[in-house]
Amino acid sequence: MNKVPLPIDPHLKNITEKILSQVPVILNASPGSGKTTRVPAELLRNLIAQKKTQKIIVIVPKRISALSAATRIAEENGWSLGIDIGYMVRFESKLTAQTQLIFMTDGMFLKKYTDATFMKQVGFLFLDEFHERKSSLDLILGISLEQKILQDDLQIIVMSATMDVQQLKKYFGQAHTIEIQIPPFTVEKNYLPTVQRLACDKDFFEQLKLTTLEAWSKSKKDILIFLPGMREINKAIETLKPCLPQVQMDVLHGSLSLDDQRKIVVKNNHQRRIVLATNVAESSITLPDLDCVIDSGLEKNTQVEKKIGFSRLKLNRISIFSATQREGRAARTNDGLCFKLWHLFDERSMPATIRPEILDSSLHFELLFLASCGVQDFIRFSWLEAPKMSAVQHASKDLISWKLLSHDHHITQLGKLVVASPVNIVNSVLFIELLQTQSTEFTAELIARLDDVDSRFSSIVKTNYANDLERIFDSP
With beta carbons less than 8 A apart as the criterion, state whether 109 and 138 touch.
Answer: no
Q: For residue 59, list its beta bridge partners.
A: 104, 127
CATH architecture of 187-357: 3-Layer(aba) Sandwich (3.40)
Burial of 473 (0-12, 13-18, 19+ CB in 10 A): exposed
d(CA 104, CA 63) in angstroms, rounded, equals 8
Distant-in-sequence, close-in-space partners of 60: CB < 8 Å, separation ≥ 6: 36, 66, 69, 103, 104, 105, 106, 128, 129, 284
With beta carbons less than 8 A apart as the criterion, state whether 366 and 153 touch.
Answer: no
d(CA 184, CA 202) in angstroms, rounded, equals 36
Q: What are phi and psi of 85, to 5 degrees?
A: -135, 140
pLDDT in tens, 136-181: 999 999 999 999 888 889 999 999 987 889 999 999 999 999 999 8
Residue 355 CB neighbours (<10 A): 14
Residue 328's alpha-carbon distances to 133, 223, 262, 377, in angstroms, are 19, 13, 21, 42
Q: Do 9-180 and 368-474 fold alike per CATH?
A: no
> Which fold would CATH assign to domain 368-474?
Four Helix Bundle (Hemerythrin (Met), subunit A) (1.20.120)
pLDDT in tens, 192-222: 999 999 999 999 999 999 999 999 999 999 9
DSSP 65-120: HHHHHHHHHHHHHTPPBTTTEEEEETTEEE--TT--EEEEEHHHHHHHHT-HHHHH
| Residue 423: per-residue pLDDT | 72
d(CA 415, CA 219) in angstroms, rounded, equals 53
Sorted by where each begins, the domain ranges of the chain are 9-180, 187-357, 368-474
Q: What are phi and psi of 47, to 5 degrees?
A: -65, -40
d(CA 282, CA 225) in angstroms, rounded, equals 11
Distant-in-sequence, close-in-space partners of 346: CB < 8 Å, separation ≥ 6: 195, 196, 297, 317
Could you give the percent of the chain with pLDDT greater than 70? 88
Could you give the percent of the chain with pLDDT greater than 90? 61
Q: What is the mean pLDDT of each run of 10 residues along the chain (476 residues)?
A: 82 96 92 91 96 96 89 93 93 91 94 89 95 92 91 93 89 94 86 94 97 97 94 96 95 77 77 90 74 95 65 86 89 90 96 89 94 94 94 95 95 90 78 73 66 51 52 44
Class of domain 9-180: alpha beta
